[in-house]
Structure 1
Amino acid sequence: MDIAIFILAGFLSALITFILNNHLKLGAVTASAGISVLAGLWFHFFPELLNPQLTRNLPFVIMGASFIGMASVKVIPRIRIIFIAGILFSGIYLATGSFFEGFGGSLGTTAAISLYAVHALKKN
C-alpha cells in the first residue's frame, strides 16, 4: 500500500506542478515551491494521519517530483511524459534512498534522471 501511495504522490505532484507552471502560467519556481510548501505544512501539522515512514518520506517524494513538473511545455509538449517521469521518480527514490546524496541534491538529480530517461525513450 505504501508503494502505491508513493507512486500516486510522485505522478500527481509532477502533473500538478506542470499544469500550474505551463497552463496556469504561475512559473516553474512558484509552482514547485507551492506544491512543496503545501506538502511540508500538511505533514508538519498532521503527522499522525499516515504511518511514520510515509510521514517522513512522502514530502521528499512530492518535492522531488515537483521538479519534474518544472519542465517547459516547449521542451516536453506531452503531459504523459511528465506522468511517466513522476512514476519513474517515485520508483527510483524508493529503490535508491540516499544513494544520490552529494550529487548536487539527490531529489533534483533523481528528477533529472527520470525526466531524461522518459524523454529519451520518446525519441527512439
Structure 2
Amino acid sequence: MIFFSKVICCFVIYWLTYHLNNTRKWGSVKASATLAVLIGLCYQLSIKTNFNTEFLKDYFLIMMGATFMGMIAKNHQHQKIDFIISSFIFCTLYEHISNMFSGFGGLLGTIACISVLCVFGLEKILNFKKF
C-alpha cells in the first residue's frame, strides 16, 4: 500500500509540473524549480516539527524526481496512462536501485529519464504492432 501511495505522489507532481510547463507556459525549468522549492520547504517544515522524516524522506525524493519527469517537451502529447506508467516505473526503479547509486549525483534525474524513455519506447512498440 505504501508503494502505491508513492506512485500517486509521483503521478500528481509529474502531472502538475507537466501542466505548469506546457499548459500554463511557465517553461520546464521554472515549473520544476518552483515545485522543487515548495517540496523542499515542506521537507524542512517536517524536520522542524519532528515528523518521522526517515519515512517521509522517500516521498520527498520521489516528488523531487517527479518534477524532472514533468520537464518533458509538449511536442509529445502525453496521455494520463503515460503519466501512470512512468510514475510506476520511476517508483519501482527508485525502490530497487537507489541504494546502488549511493554517493553518485543525478540519481533522480537519471531514473526520471529512464522511466519517461521506457514509456516512449512502449508507445513506439505498440504503435508499430498496429495494422
Query: TM-score of the superposition, structure 1-length normalised?
Result: 0.86
State the AA in 2 paired with 1:120. G
| 1:37 partnered with 2:37 | yes
Aligned residue runs from structure 1 range 88-99, under 5 A:
88-99=89-100
**Partners of 1:15 and 1:79 within 8 A in 2:** no
Structure 2 unaligned spans of 5+: 126-131
- Per the alignment, residue 120 of structure 2 pairs with 119
What is the distance in 2 between the residues matched to 1:34 and 1:97?
A: 25
Report what 2:73 is aligned to.
Answer: 72
The answer to whether the 8 Å contact 2:22/2:74 transfers is: yes
**Match in the other structure for 2:111:** 110
Give the counterpart letter for 1:58 in structure 2.
Answer: Y
Contact 1:18/1:69 (CA < 8 Å) preserved in 2? Answer: yes
When Rg is computed on C-alpha atoms for both structures, the one with the higher figure is 2
Paired with 1:106 and 1:11, the residues of 2 have a C-alpha distance of 18
* Identity rate, percent: 33
CA distance in 2, matches of 1:105, 1:52: 22
Deviations 1:26-61 (A, max 9, x none): 000011111111111112113458643332221111
CA distance in 2, matches of 1:17, 1:105: 19
In 1, are the aligned partners of 2:98 and 2:107 still within 8 Å (CA)?
no
- Checking the alignment, whether the CA contact within 8 Å between 2:35 and 2:67 is kept in structure 1 is yes
- Structure 1 residue 2: Cα displacement: 2.3
Gaps of 5+ in 1: none
CA RMSD after TM alignment: 2.0
SS across alignment from 2:114? helix
2:24 paired with 1:17: no
Residue by residue over 1:55-107, the C-alpha shift from the partner in whole angstroms, topping out at 9 and shown as x without a partner, is 22211111111111100110x21233233212211121112123235665111
